Amino acid sequence: MPQAAEENRNDATMTNQRLWMVRAGEGAKWIDEFLEHGLVAIGWEELGPIEVGVPREKIVRQATERWPNASKYRIANAVGQVFRFLNEMQKGDVVVSYDPGRRIYHVGTVEGDPEYRPGLIEGLPRIRVVTWFAQVPRDRLSVPTRNSLGAISTLFQLPPEATEEILAIAAGKETPPPDDEESEEDVTEQIASDLRAQSREFIKDRIIRLSWEEMQELVAGLLRAMGYKTRVSPPGADRGKDIIASPDGFGFEQPRIVVEVKHRPNSAMDSQAIRSFLGGRHADDKGLYVSTGGFTKDARYEAERASIPVVLMDLDDIANEIQRYYDEMDMEAKRLIPLTKIYWPA
């Protein structure tokens, strides 16, 4: 190993060393360029050159001007990573970048200040010169460290425990073997559980943004996914029934489900609303009351003692049922809440 690289490796093992992940584009498509040119790079060429020390607020204004149609989230994400690359990453910090084809993390030391060099790597104009000095196989890492490296951001700082482990392996030190398979499965299941919970919250966010008419169509689509045929009331007075669901679609065959949809995210339905809904029902009807604002305790009590079966469905219930029946939903309903499938180790 060259002397400079050896010195970099020794420096990297110092305590309190900061370590950054810098991804080499989507799918690590630029990892060979990172290694060949001795650098790391990030994108957002549309922002143009930005000097070190420029306040974050000024970068936000510049991004808003350059991306007038971009969401606040996209702008905040891009600006945050550019700001960190320019101002928080420092000479002497350590960086890693992942090569998924070989399952290797390349480890290097930042050698200089940020530069703006558009055209060197397509779409990644902001660079920092790096001396690469080690490779760390992913299979050598513990499960918690592998998980900490899994964030989707282009640029992020690793926690101290992961930093210490990676730098120890990079320096050739003996490290404990990775956690056994059972431990990895436990961690994987915990992450999967967290992802499912996050998924429900994102689905609920999309539901809240629907108009009332779209909300009505979504509930009808969910009922169709459950095997019913539906009739949706036209705009105007519906006399307490927004949707009729039944096996034949006309309500002649049982069960005949009468549905009321209230899309008022900040207003919980009370007992009076439930009594009003029940007032015009037939003895053989089944009731479904959907409220994105939820229900009061008295409303739930009213439904429990109703003379016909009544199900109250709040925002959590809607999100859960969408996850459960999404594959069976028709395109009209999927268009309202477009989702994608993620495959996860069983």
Q: What is the CATH number of domain 207-336?
A: 3.40.1350.10
Residue from 229, 185, 166, 207 nearest 322 by CA: 207
CB atoms within 10 A of CB 279: 9
Q: Structural domain boundaries of the chain?
A: 3-179, 207-336
CATH 3.10.590.10 holds for 3-179: yes
Tell me the pLDDT tens digit for each residue of 186-211. 767 777 777 888 888 889 999 999 99
Tell me the pLDDT tens digit for each residue of 205-247. 999 999 999 999 999 999 999 999 999 887 655 445 689 999 9
Tell me the pLDDT tens digit for each residue of 209-219. 999 999 999 99
- Encode burial over 47-86: b for 16+ CB neighbours within 10 A, e otherwise: beebeeeeeeeebbebbeeeeeeeeeeebeebbbbbbbbb
Question: What's the whole-number average pLDDT of the chain?
Answer: 87
- Cα angle vertex 112, ends 119, 86, to 5°? 70
